Amino acid sequence: MDEDGLLKILHGGGSPIPLNANKTAPNSIAVLENSGNFIVKELNPDRSIKRILWESFDYPTDTLLPGMKLGMNTKTGKEWKLTSWLSEQVAAPGGFSLEWSLANDTRQLVMRYRGNMYWLSGVGSASQFQNIAVMNDGDYKFSYISNENESYFSYSVPNGTISRLVLSSDGTLGDYKKLIYVGGGICFGYSFEPGCVQNSCRTRGQKFEQRLVQCLDPRALQRDDNWNTSIGDCWTKCWSNCSCVGFYSYSGNGTGCLLFETGDQESNEEIAFVFGDTKEARNDGKKGHDVKVFSFPSIVTATDNFSTENKLGQGGFGPVYKGKLPEGQEIAVKRLSRSSRQGLVEFKNELILIAKLQHMNLVRLLGCCVEGDEKMLIYEYMPNKSLDFFLFDPKKRELLDWKCRCAIIEGIAQGLYSRLRIIHRDLKASNILLDSDMNPKISDFGMPRVFGWNAADAITQRVVGTYGYMSPEYAMAGNFSEKSDVYSFGVLMLEIVSGQKSSGIYNPEHHLSLVGYAWELWRERKGLELMDSSLVESHSEHPVLRCIHVGLLCVQEFPVDRHTMSDVISMLINESLPLPIPKQAAFSTQRQLTEVGLLGGGKESTPASATVTISEMDPR
């Protein structure tokens, strides 16, 4: 701030940028308030505030904080709206905007893409919008002001609560602290928004998928050097070009387009969104899609040449080793088994998924290593091992009191619910890792599929997962969807409440699984008998019964009877929300268990002592 009270941004690329050029005063101060508003104030001689010269809340970028306005000053014509970044790395204005509807006092948020309507929030109430179902936890208080001078929307949260609504470059609106994500669709085979005209060469069943590719024929590439082109623009260009079957982001910062074309469009049943970078990243520290590429020698050094002492475990993907980087950071290295054909597919899937999605309840991918036949993923190290290490040990599970178990359940739910549909297909206690504060993080994305928001169920001949956690439609018919993970989550909930393995046999007379045992106790109004005896001191009756209730709603036999993860989260965090009565749970009879292969056909059966993991029958 200079002697005239002019606030400037100084940078090395040219002249200073004035912020409050129209209003200056020599007796001025600039204050960053607790709200996040940066204000320039003119003072009276007695140091009291005379007037506000400039404030950052009048110039929103991609973020809306409590107390900021969306709308318009009808007297001056000043408009308050959010504008997305061009890409995750480039802060230039992007294609998406979020505005407050001024039409007929409709009280709704409007998201636009390049000026066209993209998504509507629906009519708002005191703390809720129709199309944002997870905003009903009571923390949000909405204000709608409309008078002769201004019309705007604003929101507030309780003191001590951190909140920020961010409009991302891909058109999603999220409160990343409270894990709320919403957004629309631009007619890429997923939906038909008002004013969206379907291209005659495309069909509703066609869609983009993210795929890693090793190379493309340069003769089939069409280059767009416009650095103002976002990834959303690339989607639009490719979808409207009937010969386009995929695209890259041209640069490493998410701008520009390389369109992949073919003259034989009819032979392509799907439109592939080519996921990758046009530049090779071979050196340590060089990044592509925010994934650091490590050299093989650096990983050999970090793991002490993959010593037995550093081996953390062995999975279908391959062994996992503990390592330590030169700067002291501990890591976990997942090394792809060279003889595993299945592992190569999983390796590519995991890169695609985790490079796109990072979340506080997912194990963070730090980087990868690809050197000849060696393929490895490098993760953050979890010092408290996995959930099953504590949960199924009679002594260690005493460390998991009721408060801790509730936090673990909610964390797993939040990890499953995200702006991308994650079909994990092998969600289980051993795939839930715990950090130093016992926060849960979902690991092993070796077998997921990333679905678009409107993607349907899928059928696979590769039934890969763990009996006891697998939904009936997946275990017996190979059908899987988001509801398959909901089932696995329900089983996990019952395990966390009871401290017992899903693979065990309970009530020897009827050979019931944990799910069946929980259902029978619930039906007989003895739900508390399922609770782990070590929780007697720390539990409250109502929350325990509610968790069992929600768990049973997740393990319904038919997918249509199971709720979405969004609904499940609402049930968990909003105790006043009424719960529907569950129907009979899946695998709750001996006949059902025998059909899926969890029991033998005879009358007697030995209780299972370990989970059975099913994978491709290939040599390892």
Which amino acids are annotated catalytic? 426
Spell out the long-range contacts of 87-92 with Cβ–Cβ below 8 A and sequence spacing 24 or more.
87/169, 87/230, 87/231, 87/249, 87/253, 87/254, 87/255, 88/168, 88/169, 88/254, 88/290, 89/252, 89/253, 89/254, 90/253, 90/254, 90/255, 91/61, 92/228
Question: Which of 474, 414, 430 shows the shortest CA–CA distance to 449?
Answer: 474
Sign (positive or negative) of CA dihedral 288, 292, 295, 296: negative
Q: Cα–Cα distance between 463 and 475 in angstroms, integer?
A: 7
Q: Which residues contact 163 (CB under 8 A, 6 or more apart)?
A: 65, 66, 139, 140, 157, 175, 177, 178
**Which residue intervals of 150-288 are DSSP H helices?**
231-240
Closest Cα partner for 352 from 439, 267, 288? 288
Q: Do residues 275 and 210 make contact, with C-beta atoms less than 8 angstroms apart?
A: yes
Cβ pair 40, 20 in contact under 8 A: yes
Burial class (CB in 10 A: 0-12, 13-18, 19+), 312: middle
Distance separating alpha carbons of residues 338 and 85, to the nearest angstrom: 41
User: How far apart, in whole angstroms, are the C-alpha atoms of residue 521 and residue 493?
Assistant: 15
Residues near 278 by beta carbon (within 8 Å), at least 6 away in sequence: 248, 250, 251, 258
Residue type, 211: R
Non-local (6+) Cβ contacts of 253 within 8 A are: 87, 89, 90
Question: Which ranges of 303-373 does DSSP label H, i.e. alpha helix?
Answer: 341-356
What span, in angstroms and rounded, lies between the C-alpha atoms of 591 and 605? 13
Cα separation of 57 and 432, whole Å? Answer: 41
Q: Which H/E stretch holds residue 273?
A: strand 271-275
Q: DSSP 3-state assignment of 26?
A: coil
Residue pair 340/618 in contact (Cβ under 8 Å)? The answer is yes
Residue 120, helix vs strand vs coil: strand
> Tokens standing for 347?
């390796």
Which tokens hold the place of 321? 């080793």
Structure tokens, 305: 């040449």
* Token pair for 225: 């050097």
- Tokens of residue 177, six digits: 């602290």
